[in-house]
Amino acid sequence: MADLDIDGSDTPADAAALAVLGITDAERTRLATLYAVGDSLWRVPISHFTDWDFNMGTKPPDGAVPPDQPEKKKDPLDDPCD
């Protein structure tokens, strides 16, 4: 079975902490077959299907700047009044 560090402390969580998250021995056994020691993964409970991506942040990090791209040329078809 995989030992899981669930809080970033570099120590395996005890059975009570794993139980609070609903992590079973069967899940830990399966994780041990899928991942190598030291691998990192996210476990996110999902109660319904959604298009939300848990890897995507809700805002850019502090200090982020937009990419350096050339200015887009105006397409005359974008504004039929031109």
Residue 52 burial class via C-beta count within 10 angstroms: exposed 0-12, middle 13-18, buried 19 and up: exposed
Tell me if 25 is assigned to some domain.
yes
pTM over 0.85: no
Range of the domain at 27: 1-41
| Residue 80 falls inside a structural domain | no
Number of domains the chain is built from: 1
59 found inside a domain = no
In a domain, 12, yes or no: yes
In a domain, 24, yes or no: yes
Residue 22 maps to a domain: yes
Give the tokens for residue 69.
Answer: 């791209």
Residue 22 region, left (φ>0) first, then alpha (ψ -120 to 50), else beta?
left
Give the per-residue pLDDT at 82.
57
Cα separation of 21 and 6, whole Å?
9
- Decide if 81 is inside a domain: no
Residues 20-69 have pLDDT tens digits of: 999 999 999 999 999 999 999 888 877 777 777 777 777 888 898 888 88
